[in-house]
Chains A and B, each alone.
Chain A
């Protein structure tokens, strides 16, 4: 396959950045999107140009590093996959492809296609845990049965990889799907009950502080989420938040 790529180049956080055009030829349709970028970069290096920087690591859809906005879609045209799982057979020979970073004021561009997602880190630090120490004397794992249905639901939301596609795709730059996933995971489990109210209050507060927008129920996030996290969890988080606000003591 021969392709024309319009790629976002930006030297650093301060630089304004812009699109550059590159041509790649002889790409196998069995190669992944990132492998296609590898080929492009190899050419750039040989030409003495700096290769395009992008985040990636596991290349199997689980680490959440890769984060490209391809032809106007987070993680590109395929569904339920991350950028690294996207394959070139999804594109036409001769096509022009736009490759850009996530766009959100709360996730500024660091360089080229790499963004700063530390806002997600701070949200997790504000409450995405159960306060239990490592002691070796925790109660036996089977002492507390958990209905399979709850355990399965907790798993479904815990599958979030923290990629940020939900934010990138949302016209309001809302991080609700990401936050809802973590809040819901603990809300379904008995271990999460003690801190349930404080958790949702803290995490939502931090999310607002980071400048993420509000959710207006467009549903775009669930379409692009590579882990199929449903927006019904946003509704669940809203209920959690409401009940915590009403009953919390401060």
Chain B
């Protein structure tokens, strides 16, 4: 096992970034014109990085699998983006944002990275406003904030329930400006299928044109991977259908370590599965928990009656309901962190209290809030003796103003009116904190190959706080990578144009075309989705919300078996030289089938509960916290960075010990 050099700069925590930035070698403008950079992915991280690098003068080639960079899945983020602006004068600061993020990540993230993230958070808001991002404002015309995810300050900026969309359109507009100038060449409907290394350095990629099936060689002095997370390894998740790990996995197989794959966030408020036809899950913003109360019936008879349609949830009196979060966690109630809320829902449903046909749903009820707001509004309007109906109408109007688009979305999907009857929710895979290992400069363990945004592992530790994903994506893309990449590129000014007519490119292309040939020639009996669903089922069952040794070992062997079957029996119709969605999917699922096994292996080796990773063997034995997750800082305060050696099960672990100099490690308590 080697020691990983995270290249964290010397000095006190708060000066590290500034000092480092001041010392980074600069590339002079004339030289930048001779340097090419490839960016894979156009979400918040990739889009903002590509635009910023081009503004600085580099030649950028950008790739996305969608028909437009604007469609990357950052677009679907609802809630908001954090920044330590302290506009609400509630005592927020860079230190507090840093502290909350490290604590929220259950002390498994890298202090120096998180502090830098908090430092640049304010710049992001300035930048986005300057681009014309229409954030929510108050009546004085100033930016509005909401509090999010159980933190004690209001630091979340938002654009209704479409913050990700608006931020991405901001980055997209900056990107468009550079495309128009000819500084960025955009390759839509292209997928990176291989990394090309020359003398140990990342020098280009093989991309497949998804419309024509053509393989293309693209060279560059540095390659940036910004391809997002790998939640779709579970088949069902809130990720987009096309979200995939292929770019990240390809670089892993070429030498980039993959860190903490088992850290996954399972979001508590998603619309439950309605049946086997389901292709993806839809998230409902966490902000709903500010006003919604979560419950299941107290008695199993009532559960059955509800499932069979003999009883409506609204028929149940207060004392017949179990507001289990309020019962178990009186201090935080419905606002406990995501992982705690998710596990509690699973526990109730596993015990038979799930309220829909599949037995996997709990209620999120707004009736109390509607009444409370209704009374308030009636008082404000100086109504005397308002009747029940008036109060409900007034209350519903308040709820509509706050969550109208979410309620409408729910109604379209479920065909029930959530103003009149409680919503049903269930946890779903949402975000992956693990990812490609990077050093402080965001460089992977391959020289010249960088990884940013959700695709890397660095900032969220074992659990991500609400409204922090957008912040990290844009921090990496606008304010971190464009500086740190100079450190490497300043040594590249004499390299000159990189030819694609070399044995390395030749070989990489040959590998890809053989892989595609192999897939097409299997001509088996099962569709790609068939295998993907099997993989998802194994992941959800054994590597989902709660994990144990036996299950994880089983997952590893099952996934291996599914992989073998896939390579023997998958059927891909059509041909490889045209737009072939099944072939594209097959390539992605093939990678997920490897990643899934490493995921389970990582979860097996981490015999502690931390953040989104819950090991049944590691729980508090007694006292107030009995049964809650137990972290083990003595043995597990490290990053597990896995090196590929041929089979996922043979991956070799490298440890990066985590040091906490500015924060005292504490066990979380929400009781």
Contacts and interface: CB of A to CB of B under 8 A. Distances in A.
A94 to B, nearest CB: 19
A47 to B, nearest CB: 9
Contacts of A36: 277
A138 interface: yes
Given A134-B479, A141-B125, A159-B165, A64 B241 contact: no
B3 interface: no
Nearest to B238: A60
Nearest to B65: A57
Nearest to A36: B277
Contact of B578 (A81, A111, A146): A111
A155 B51 CA distance: 23
A59 B176 CA distance: 25
Given A85-B412, A141-B143, A38 B277 contact: yes
Interface stretch (B33-41, B70-78, B108-116): B70-78
A128 interface: yes
A53 to B, nearest CB: 5
A25 interface: no
Interface string A211-224: 00000000000000
B616 interface: no
Contacts of A135: 127
Interface string B457-489: 000000000000000000000110010000000
Interface in B156-191: 159-160, 162, 165-166, 169, 172-174, 176-177, 179-180, 186, 188
A73 interface: no
B190 to A, nearest CB: 13
A140 B176 contact: no
A102 to B, nearest CB: 12
A162 B415 contact: no
Nearest to B477: A134
B331 interface: no
A191 B582 contact: no
Interface stretch (A112-120, A165-173, A232-240): A112-120
Interface string B118-148: 0010010111111110111111111100000
Contacts of A147: 141
B140 A134 contact: no
B165 A62 contact: yes
A158 B134 contact: yes
A89 B55 CA distance: 49
Contacts of A130: 130-132, 173
Contacts of A63: 66, 71-73, 75-76, 240
Contacts of A31: 274-275, 277-278
Given A63-B240, A85-B412, A11 B527 contact: no
B132 A56 contact: no
Nearest to A63: B71
Contact of B73 (A28, A58, A185): A58
B134 A51 contact: no
A87 B188 CA distance: 29
Given A28-B277, A48-B573, A189 B134 contact: yes
B564 interface: no
A120 B172 CA distance: 13
B169 A111 contact: no
Given A146-B141, A185-B134, A39 B127 contact: no
A128 B126 contact: no
A93 interface: no
B529 interface: yes
A186 to B, nearest CB: 6
Contacts of A50: 573-574, 580, 582
Contacts of B529: 38, 42
Interface in B425-483: 478-479, 482
B571 interface: yes
B339 to A, nearest CB: 23
A121 interface: yes
A51 B166 CA distance: 34
B226 to A, nearest CB: 15
A138 B241 contact: no
Contacts of B125: 141
A129 B174 contact: yes
A65 interface: yes
Q: Which of B55, B132, B141, B412 has the most CB of A within 10 A?
A: B132
Given A30-B275, A110-B579, A136-B479, A158 B68 contact: no
B478 A45 contact: no
Contacts of A129: 131-132, 173-174, 176-177
Contacts of A248: none
Contacts of B478: 134
Interface in B32-67: 48, 51-52, 55, 66-67
A133 interface: yes
B242 interface: yes
B140 A145 contact: yes
A87 B414 CA distance: 9
Interface in B258-281: 274-275, 277-280
Contact of B579 (A42, A61, A111, A186): A111
Nearest to A47: B573
A21 interface: no
A151 B157 CA distance: 14
Nearest to B525: A46
Contacts of B275: 28, 30-31
Contacts of A185: 132, 134
A249 B30 CA distance: 34
Given A87-B412, A87-B413, A191 B67 contact: no
Contacts of A38: 277, 279, 529
A160 B492 CA distance: 42
A180 B408 CA distance: 26
A136 B531 CA distance: 47
B211 interface: yes
Given A35-B278, A132-B130, A138-B123, A159 B162 contact: yes
A125 B179 contact: yes
A45 B280 CA distance: 20
B87 A142 contact: yes
A39 B277 contact: yes
B134 A139 contact: no
Contacts of A51: 573, 581-582
Given A124-B172, A125-B179, 5 more contacts: A12-B579, A85-B409, A132-B174, A141-B129, A148-B138
10 contacts: A57-B242, A58-B75, A62-B165, A81-B412, A129-B176, A132-B130, A141-B130, A155-B160, A189-B134, A191-B129
- Which 6 interchain pairs have the tightest Cβ spacing? A145-B141, A129-B173, A155-B134, A154-B134, A141-B129, A63-B71
